[in-house]
Amino acid sequence: MRIWKKAFGWIKPQEKLIFEDKNTDISSDKQPLSANLEINLALLGKLMGEAQDLIIREFSLGHDEHRAAVVLIDGLAEKELVNEQILNPLMLEIRFEIPRGSNELFNRIKKYGIPNTAIKEDYTIDGVINDILTGNTVLLLEGVDRALMISSQGWKDRSISEPITESVVRGPRDGFTETLRTNTTLIRRRIKSPDLRLEGIKIGTRTQTDVVIAYLNGVAKKDVVDEVRTRLESIKIDGVLESGYIEEFIEDRPLSPFPQVERSERPDKVASALLEGRVAILVDTTPFVLMVPTVFFQFIQASEDYYERYYIGSMIRVLRVLALMVSITLPAIYIALTSFHHEMIPTPLALSIASSREAVPFPAVGEALIMGIFFEILREAGIRLPRPTGQAVSIVGALVIGQAAVEAGIVSQAMVIVVALTGISSFAIPAYNAAVAGILLRVPLVILAGFFGLFGILTGLSLILIHLCGLKVFGINYLSIVTSAGEGEYKDFVVRAPWWSMFHRAGRITGKSKKKT
C-alpha cells in the first residue's frame, strides 16, 4: 500500500500548495512611505538588494533646491520617455510657481508637471516596488510621503510575426507576442465592441504575472466566466512562466490524456472563439492564449477551414478525421491483422507482408514498438535541434536508419510504411498537443493488439470512448455535438456549412442557441 502511495500519490491534486513560501518579504511588507526622501531611497535600495539595473536619479526641481528622485529599472522602463516626460518638464521647463508646502507641490506636479497618460499615487513601499518592477517610473519628493507612479513601460519586444506552430496558406499572418498589451490589442483590433471584456488578474506570488480573462459580455455564458475567474483566483503558485502552468491548474480532469484546454497563438482563432461565446485567457510573457471550454472536435478544426471555401474546408476536415483515426489505430490494426487475423488481409497483400517479414527477428508487436519509439525520438530530436542540424537528423533518420534497417532485415518494409504513415497522419492534426496525446493512446492499443488482436483494439477503443463520454470541460460534454447538439450545431462539425447558412451560435457554449447578432 505504501509503495502504491509513494508511486502514485502525486496523482491526487494537492489541496495545499507545495510552493507556498511563508517568508516572503515582499507581500508581508506593507511599510508606508516616509516623508524623508533619503530614507525612502535607502529603503528602496535595500529591498531591491542594490540591484545592478536599478536606476535612482536624484535631481532638483527647476531652479529651486527642492529635492526629488526618479526610480526605475533599466531596460523595463523606456529611458527616452522618462527624460522627455519627467525629467525635462521638471528640471528645465517647469511652468508653475513652486509652492512652499511639499504636498501642494506634489499635487501641482501631478496636475501640471508630467505630460504622461497614466499616472497614479501610492503610499507604500510595497506598491512602489511592484510598480517599478512592471516598468513604471516612480517619482519621489522630499517631504512627501506619497509616490507618483508614471507609466513608462518600454522594453525590448519581439515584433508581431507569423505564428510558427500554426501556419496557414490563407488567413491573417499576425501572431501573438510575449507582451500582454500587444496581445490584447490584436484582439481589440478584431472585435471593436464595447462588449469585449478584459478582466485583469495577477497570478504567481513571485512572478506577479498579468493574466487577462477575455470574453464577450452577453455572448459568453456567465457561469463559465465565473467559473474561469474562480479557478484562476484559486491558483496558488510562486511563478507562472507560460500559459501551460495555468492550463494544468484549470483542467477538469488532470489525469486524462486528452487536452481539455485549447491553445493558440493566432489572434484570429482567439477572436473567433470569443465570438462563439468562449472565454480566452491571456498570459503575459507567452504568445499562447488559452481558450475554454473546449470540446474534442475543436482539435481537428483549423482556422483556415473557415477562410477557404466550404467545400475545401469540409474536405480537409474529413481528411483530418481520417488522419486522427489512422494515427491512433493503424499500427494496432496492422499488428492485429498480421498476428491474429491473417484471413482478413487480401491474399496478394498477405503474401507481400509475409515476404517482407521473412527473416525479421522480432514479433510484429515488438517491431511496432521499436519503430514507434525510434520515430518519436527522431521527431523530438528534429524539434529540439537547431534548424540546420535538424535536417541532418531527418536525413540520417529517414535514409540511414529506415533504409538500412530494412535492408539488414531488422524491420520489415511494411512496418516502416505503417510507422511513417502513422507519424505523418499525426502531424495532419492541427493541434500539436492533441497529436502528441495520440501517442499515449497508440502505444497501449499496440500492446493490446499484440495480446488480443482486434478484440484488444476494440476493448481499448471502448475504454477510450467511455472515458471521453464521461469527460466534461467547464460543464460541457467533451464529446458534445456527437452526444448532443443544439440547433444548427451540426453545421460546424466534420463538415463546415457555408457562412451564409450558419445563423446560430452553438447553444452548448452560450447556454442557449441564439441568432448571431
Partner 1 sequence: MERKLFLIILMLCCSLFIAGCWNSREIDQLAFVMGIGLDKTQEGNIKITVQVAKPSTFSKSPSGGSDNEKSFWVASSEGKTIFEAIRNMATFSSRRIFWAHNKVIIIGEKMARDDISEILDFFCRNPELRLRTWIAVTPGEAGKILEREPGMEKDPSSAIENVINQTVWTGKCYRVMLKDFLEDYLSTATYPVAARIVSKDDSSNIKMSGSAVFNQNKLAGWLNEKETRGLLWLKGQLSSSIMVIPCPLDGRPLSIELIGSKADIKSEFDGQIPRFTVDALASGNLSEQACQTDFTNMDNLRKLEKALASAIKDDLESVTKAAQTGIGLDFPGYNHYLHRQHKDRWHELVEKWPGLFKKADIIIHVKAMIPRETLFARPLNPVKHNNVNKIRIEASNEITR
Binding site for partner 1 (CB under 8 A): 1, 4, 338-340, 342-343, 345, 347-348, 350-360, 363-364, 407, 413, 450-453
Assigned C-alpha cell, 21: 513560501
Report in angstroms how near the CB of residue 409 gets to partner 1 at its nearest: 8
Q: Taking the complex as a whole, how short is the minimal distance between the CB of residue 363 and partner 1, in angstroms?
A: 6
- Report the C-alpha gap between 137 and 122 in whole angstroms: 12
Alpha-carbon Rg for the chain in angstroms: 30
Instruction: Give 1 or 164: the residue with its C-beta nearer to partner 1.
Output: 1
CA atoms of 63 and 48, how far apart (whole Å): 31
Q: How far is the CB of 358 from partner 1 (least distance, A)?
A: 5
Residue where the block lists cell 441564439:
514
Do β-strands 209-216 and 279-283 pair in parallel, antiparallel, or remain unpaired? antiparallel
Query: Shortest approach of partner 1 to residue 7 CB, angstroms?
Result: 10
Buried b (16+ CB within 10 A) or exposed e, 275-288: bbbbbbbbbbebbb
Using DSSP bridges, classify how beta strands 67-73 and 137-141 pair: parallel, antiparallel or unpaired. antiparallel
C-beta closer to partner 1: residue 3 or 169: 3
Taking the complex as a whole, the smallest distance from the CB of residue 192 to partner 1 amounts, in Å, to 54
C-beta separation of 73 from 53 below 8 A: yes
Task: Pick the closer one to partner 1 by CB: 172 or 363.
Answer: 363
Nearest distance in Å: CB 400, partner 1: 18
**Amino acid identity at 209:** T
How far is Cα 152 from Cα 183, in angstroms, rounded to an integer?
18
Nearer to partner 1, 93 or 343 (CB): 343
Q: What angle do CA 46, 48, 49 make, to 5 degrees?
A: 60
Q: Which is nearer to partner 1, 113 or 450 (CB)?
A: 450
Q: Which is nearer to partner 1, 117 or 347 (CB)?
A: 347
As measured in angstroms, the least distance from the Cβ of 335 to partner 1 is 9
Q: Locate cell 505523418: which residue?
A: 424
- Considering beta carbons, is residue 77 or 369 the nearer one to partner 1? 369
Least distance to partner 1 from the beta carbon of 355, Å? 4
In the chain, DSSP finds a helix count (H) and a strand count (E) of 20, 12
Cα distances from 416 to residues 320, 354, 371, 399, in angstroms, run: 22, 14, 7, 12
| CB contact at 8 A, 198 and 271 | no
The smaller minimum CB distance to partner 1, of residues 392 and 417, is found at 417
